Chain A
């Protein structure tokens, strides 16, 4: 349903030309949870931004339902690493912003924003200013803001990286539940291998300099995964080893 075809991205850094992505091809299937995993600076966030249209590619194209995409997609919604809630708006007003751009009336907007907030369990703080919420709650608002526009694809850029462990695991479970309940298609950037295994159907493994996809691993573990200890599952352990080898993490460690 969504294809990245021959995506390249290079930019000038001082006098040298940096190749952030080189000839990346990626097929994303409807309803799947796909993670992009790799070391920092491998271009996974750049690819996610190119898919949404937030960053222009130097070469290649993004094809959505057979149509080559121009500009920022209206069918996809972005969840940012830094959350980026607007501090002058209340929680519910933050969730409404995408609906305002889509021309919904005030009443319908508010109603849909509140419904979406209920989905992430935050209806009760709708009128609070976002900076009074904890980090985990703020990112839930970030997810609600993206879900409110009822996107076909949810693009998530390391959304849980700034959260503490307990909150992160809670949100991972919540996200997994939302994904199954709403039958979403999710592209999820992370550098946390366990997080990727817990959430994903498939994991695209990146290598850097230039950024490219080395391999796509399939996560063959039964759902729902919050019912058992995924991390202790032998298949998960094996996959984890395989991913770490494929990412060449050990070789890159300086000893």
Chain B
């Protein structure tokens, strides 16, 4: 009774205070620093409104979101598919494990020029790079999830006579879903990096291309506006995944609360 928890608005108020303080410091820095370095909040807002109004931001945002979406979708199909196969079949796992280790150890960014050579200087090369930067995370998490399916769930599949495919589909994959979704969450962040980087390097495309253009001409306020838009895109993707998880897997929060 005595130690009352701080009301929810207090946390928000604290955040708001520090945020406003930060903005104020940033704005004042414009008085003493060259605006090329970090610009000022007012200028960034101006730039943001400008590129929003002339349609640049919207079209670049959609371009990037589409390529990132396609890339993540392909990576999910390959990563989840292969991860499930490897998790359920020792033979498949033995066949792919060395390749997986090798590929996962390769610094993915080094593969960007290779994607250009393979797929040309267009959309397919950028999407291929997004796939290759995030597919390993999806795969490894799926594999880990399948291998860590609760013994009790495995027992149910066997005791009630499910065959291998039924057990995979009806027990193993749903049981591994928290792992798979955790992997997808990291993969989305990696895909966002891939989206920006491939946009910068291959054909100055989408939001990545936009940052490259603005940086070339030292338009720092526009650059920061484009960066904020990129962050927004990634956060939108996270929010979508979280929404999916809370809709489809409400038991995760419920059972976590029940466990002590």
Q: Which residues on A are within 8 Å of B, measured CB to CB? A: 52, 54, 72, 74, 77-78, 80, 82, 84, 86-88, 97-98, 100-102, 129, 131-132, 145, 149
B7 at the interface (CB under 8 A from A): no
* One of A54, A100, A131, A145 near B158 (C-beta < 8 A): A54
Which residues of chain B are near A86, meaning CB under 8 Å? Answer: 153, 156, 171, 174-175
User: Interface on chain B toward A: helix, strand, loop, or mixed SS?
Assistant: helix
In the complex, which residue of chain B has the Cβ closest to the Cβ of A101? Answer: B161
* Complex Cα–Cα for A97 and B150 (A): 17
Complex Cα distance, B156 from A100, in Å, reads 13
How far, in Å, is B14 (CB) from chain A's closest CB? 35
The 27 listed contacts between A and B (C-beta, < 8 Å) are A54-B155, A72-B158, A72-B161, A77-B160, A78-B159, A80-B156, A82-B152, A84-B150, A84-B156, A86-B156, A86-B171, A87-B251, A87-B255, A88-B174, A88-B177, A88-B249, A88-B251, A97-B162, A98-B160, A100-B162, A101-B161, A101-B166, A102-B161, A131-B255, A131-B258, A132-B254, A149-B160
With A and B bound together, what is the CA distance between A74 and B158 in angstroms? 10
Number of interface residues of B (CB under 8 A): 24
B residues contacting A by CB (< 8 A) are: 150, 152-153, 155-156, 158-163, 166, 170-171, 174-175, 177, 248-251, 254-255, 258
Question: What CA separation (Å) do A78 and B154 show in the bound complex?
Answer: 13
Contact indicator A97/B251 (Cβ below 8 Å): no
> Which residues of chain A have C-beta atoms less than 8 A from B170's C-beta?
97, 100
A88 to B174 alpha-carbon distance, docked (Å): 7
A54 touches B159 (CB 8 A): yes
**Which B residues touch A149, using CB under 8 A?**
160
Complex Cα spacing A84 to B177, Å: 17
Q: Is the CB of A98 within 8 A of B161?
A: yes
Selected from B150, B166, B174, B249, the residue in CB contact (under 8 A) with A100 is B166
| Contact between B177 and A131, CB atoms less than 8 A apart | no
CB distance from A163 to the nearest CB of B (A): 15
B159/A72 in contact, CB under 8 A: yes
Taking a contact as CB atoms under 8 Å apart, the answer to whether A74 and B159 are in contact is no
